[in-house]
Structure 1
Amino acid sequence: MNKEIKMTLVTREGCVHCAQTKEILKKIQPEYPELAVEEIDMTTPQGQELISKYGIMSSPGIIINGELFSIGGTTEKELREKFVALRS
């Protein structure tokens, strides 16, 4: 059994890159049952804390297993490569 991959998306309303990232996740998440995704609005106190902690300057901020993975969006290929690396 693969260990859990915890992904946090720090998003904001009306963010085009956030919507694109969520669409990618919707497509590939069934292939990664160990993936747990949490979405946090960057305008909330928790979101502000993450922005400060990780230096997120644009949305979405993508945090995987407690480490900043990407700011401002990502690609399906980059996410798949990261998830495969975490499985090994």
Structure 2
Amino acid sequence: MSIKVEVFSSPGCGKCGQAKEVLRKLAEEIGGGRIDWREVNVLEELDYAVNLGVLSTPAIAINGALTFTGLPSVRKLRSELDRRLAVEAGVKGA
């Protein structure tokens, strides 16, 4: 059971680097391979970013849906990840 998290970033974006670092640390804390995350460079994957509704970076999508349109607090991101993992666990256990 894992959730897919994508961090939309652009070259030279300081907050994007911060978002990636926060997500990397949270994925390590949660562990167990439960967070499958990747960086999406909006310049390289512009059509995909636009289709999700990304208008600025950093942005974070979870399981293919735009969830944060800016850099959330660590607490808010952790809370959302925990909530999604609990939902996944409930669905898999049902």
- Length-normalised TM-score, structure 2: 0.80
Please list every run of 5 or more consecutive structure 1 residues that lacks an aligned counterpart in the other structure. none
Match of 2:49 among 26, 29, 51: 51
Match of 1:64 among 62, 65, 85: 62
Code of the aligned partner of 2:61: I
**Which segments of structure 1 move beyond 6 Å, counting only runs of 4 or more?**
none
Does the Cα contact within 8 Å between 1:11 and 1:39 map onto a contact in 2? yes
Q: Which residue of 2 aligns with 1:11?
A: 9
Q: Which digits, 9 at most, give the CA deviation of each residue in 1:6-38, with x for residues without a partner? A: 001111111111111112123222122300111
**Residues matched between the structures, number:** 84
Select the structure of larger CA radius of gyration: 2
Percent identical among aligned pairs is 27
RMSD: 1.3
